[in-house]
């Protein structure tokens, strides 16, 4: 009989993983502690914007017309324990308030999930952690599971980090570039090979490791990506001082395939629910392990990144003639990246908020992130389109690189603004048509003219 899968926690990671497991042919039961979320998902609706996810969900959710019915959601832990052969733990692991470390005791966090699930596990099963956790957590949670589960050794733990990107969550989950599992037994490895037989059969590498290595793969990968972005942003600082062009520089070094072109886009830096918190939690954990020196460079990566936001504010102030007082600033973009409505630690909103606090009249437009932005920064103004946001603006800031903004007509927008001054904080707009339409065009790390 085919394995029965449960997914605990239905955020970006969990909702996508649950739908993907149903797509791979398994019977899936998703659990969330938030009743409203379970109701929404059960009706085939996704509480966030993620391309393709709602469609995938609706293909499988029981009760939706024409669906396979392989996917259901519940708030009931007993049902989950009785149902699953493999339980994926996908709850989030936020940063501790006011500290760098990761808060594992968060009410719906990994520890709480294991403590609630384990006492109900009375038959053989595998509990698989997918959340990003400090190294050492899996070993500790495995001991906890052994202590609490009536099934004893028959209820085992594995770690299987997730590398999905928001905006590509479905694609990354169905066709990952690698699957990494941290296991303590052959049985656990075999079960996970069975779960992932589809993608592995299609050629996805399957990397088997011990717990700490599997946990570290995730934080190491995110640290590397963050370092790459801060590296190019450091080059942008140098380019600005020396009159160079960081976009050209990135292109030229990117032809070396040891370096590669990806993640070398200079701008206002990285944000979101993962990279900033993960590098901080990683530093905190290295400190606990007595090897903080190994990661002091991540402090620099973090401060280069945060400096980008401040730099953007300064460029905007300069464009406004040295003060924000009485000036209108149009902000294009609120999400931390395009194709997402996620505004967690969004560089765009951070810049918008700083300018607002310094007296500027900021109007924000984002294709998908407006509701979340309004909730986070209710005091900013919001417009229904890029053109509305730009109305009578003294400067327009391009802060999230939605394709919609690349398709703007510079001539048309020039008629809406008070002063045709644009600053590209993401280096994805082509300066030529903007300048041809009479705009003063500036971009981070590129020559002013």
Q: Which residues in this chain contact ligand UDX in the complex, by CB under 6 A?
A: 162-166, 222, 225, 229, 263-265, 267, 269-272, 274-275, 336-337
The whole-angstrom separation of Cα 137 and Cα 167 is 28
- Eight-class DSSP state of 387: H
Cβ contacts of residue 39 below 8 Å, gap of 6+? Answer: none
- CA 162-165-171 angle, 5° bins: 85
Smallest distance from the beta carbon of 50 to ligand UDX, in angstroms?
Answer: 10
The whole-angstrom separation of Cα 339 and Cα 424 is 18
- Is 27 or 342 the residue whose CB approaches ligand UDX more closely? 342
Smallest distance from the beta carbon of 290 to ligand UDX, in angstroms?
Answer: 27
Smallest distance from the beta carbon of 221 to ligand UDX, in angstroms?
Answer: 6
Smallest distance from the beta carbon of 308 to ligand UDX, in angstroms?
Answer: 8
Which of 102, 125, 274, 320 is catalytic? The answer is 274
- CA 201-205-210 angle, 5° bins: 120
Q: What is the dihedral of CA 263, 268, 273, 279, to 10 degrees?
A: 70
Cβ contacts of residue 307 below 8 Å, gap of 6+? Answer: 237
Cβ contacts of residue 65 below 8 Å, gap of 6+? Answer: none
The whole-angstrom separation of Cα 288 and Cα 10 is 30
Smallest distance from the beta carbon of 305 to ligand UDX, in angstroms?
Answer: 8
- Is 50 or 85 the residue whose CB approaches ligand UDX more closely? 50
Cβ contacts of residue 25 below 8 Å, gap of 6+? Answer: 2, 70, 198
Q: For 280, left (φ over 0), alpha (ψ -120 to 50), or beta? A: alpha
389 touches 395 (CB < 8 A): no
- Is 2 or 303 the residue whose CB approaches ligand UDX more closely? 303
Compute the chain's Rg from CA coordinates. Answer: 24
The count of residues in the chain is: 449
- Eight-class DSSP state of 145: H
Smallest distance from the beta carbon of 268 to ligand UDX, in angstroms?
Answer: 7
Smallest distance from the beta carbon of 261 to ligand UDX, in angstroms?
Answer: 9
- Is 121 or 364 the residue whose CB approaches ligand UDX more closely? 364
Smallest distance from the beta carbon of 355 to ligand UDX, in angstroms?
Answer: 19
Which H/E stretch holds residue 319? helix 296-319
- Is 87 or 265 the residue whose CB approaches ligand UDX more closely? 265
The whole-angstrom separation of Cα 120 and Cα 143 is 16
Report, in this order, helix, strand and coil percent for the chain, each rounded to 5.
45, 15, 40
- Is 11 or 272 the residue whose CB approaches ligand UDX more closely? 272
| DSSP per-residue codes, 152-220 | GGGEEEEE----PPTTSHHHHHHS-S-EEEE-SSHHHHHHHHHHTHHHHHTT--EEEE-HHHHHHHHHH
Q: Is 274 a catalytic residue?
A: yes
Q: In what order do the strands lie in the sheet with 179-182?
A: 71-74, 27-31, 4-8, 86-89, 125-129, 155-159, 179-182, 206-209
- Is 109 or 269 the residue whose CB approaches ligand UDX more closely? 269
- Is 72 or 280 the residue whose CB approaches ligand UDX more closely? 280
User: Would you please indicate which residues are annotated as catalytic (active-site) residues?
Assistant: 274
């Amino acid at each position: 009989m085919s394995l029965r899968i449960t997914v605990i926690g239905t955020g970006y990671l969990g909702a996508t993983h649950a739908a993907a497991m149903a797509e791979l042919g398994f019977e899936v039961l998703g659990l969330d502690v938030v009743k409203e979320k379970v109701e929404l998902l059960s009706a085939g609706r996704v509480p966030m914007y993620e391309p393709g996810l709602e469609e995938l969900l609706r293909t499988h959710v029981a009760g939706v017309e024409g669906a396979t019915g392989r996917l259901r959601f519940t708030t009931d832990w007993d049902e989950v324990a009785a149902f699953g052969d493999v339980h994926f733990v996908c709850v989030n692991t936020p940063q501790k308030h006011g500290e760098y470390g990761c808060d594992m005791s968060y009410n719906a966090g990994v520890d709480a999930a294991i403590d609630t699930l384990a006492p109900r596990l009375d038959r053989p099963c595998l509990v698989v952690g997918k959340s990003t956790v400090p190294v050492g957590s899996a070993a500790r949670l495995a001991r906890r599971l052994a202590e609490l589960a009536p099934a004893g050794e028959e209820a085992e733990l594995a770690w299987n980090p997730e590398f999905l990107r928001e905006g590509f969550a479905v694609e990354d989950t169905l066709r990952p570039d690698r699957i990494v599992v941290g296991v303590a037994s052959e049985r656990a490895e075999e079960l996970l090979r069975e779960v992932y037989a589809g993608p592995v059969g299609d050629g996805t590498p399957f990397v088997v490791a011990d717990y700490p290595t599997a946990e570290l793969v995730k934080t190491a990968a995110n640290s590397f990506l963050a370092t790459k972005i801060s590296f190019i942003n450091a080059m942008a600082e140098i380019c600005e001082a020396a009159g160079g062009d960081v976009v050209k520089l990135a292109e030229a070094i990117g032809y070396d395939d040891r370096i590669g072109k990806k993640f070398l886009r200079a701008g206002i830096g990285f944000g979101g629910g993962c990279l900033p918190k993960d590098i901080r939690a990683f530093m905190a954990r290295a400190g606990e392990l007595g090897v903080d020196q190994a990661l002091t460079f991540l402090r620099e990566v973090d401060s280069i990144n945060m400096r980008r936001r401040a730099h953007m504010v300064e460029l905007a102030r300069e464009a406004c003639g040295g003060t924000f007082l009485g000036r209108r600033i149009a902000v294009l973009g609120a999400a931390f990246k395009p194709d997402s409505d996620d505004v967690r630690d969004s560089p765009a909103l951070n810049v918008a908020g700083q300018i607002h606090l310094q007296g500027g009249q900021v109007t924000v437009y984002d294709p998908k992130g407006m509701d979340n932005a309004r909730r986070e920064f209710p005091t900013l103004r919001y417009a229904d389109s890029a053109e509305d946001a730009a109305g009578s603006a003294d400067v327009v800031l391009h802060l999230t690189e939605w394709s919609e903004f690349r398709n703007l007509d510079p001539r048309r927008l020039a008629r809406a603004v008070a002063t045709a001054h644009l600053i590209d904080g993401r280096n994805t707009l082509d300066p030529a048509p903007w300048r041809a339409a009479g705009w003063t065009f500036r971009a981070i790390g590129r020559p002013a003219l």
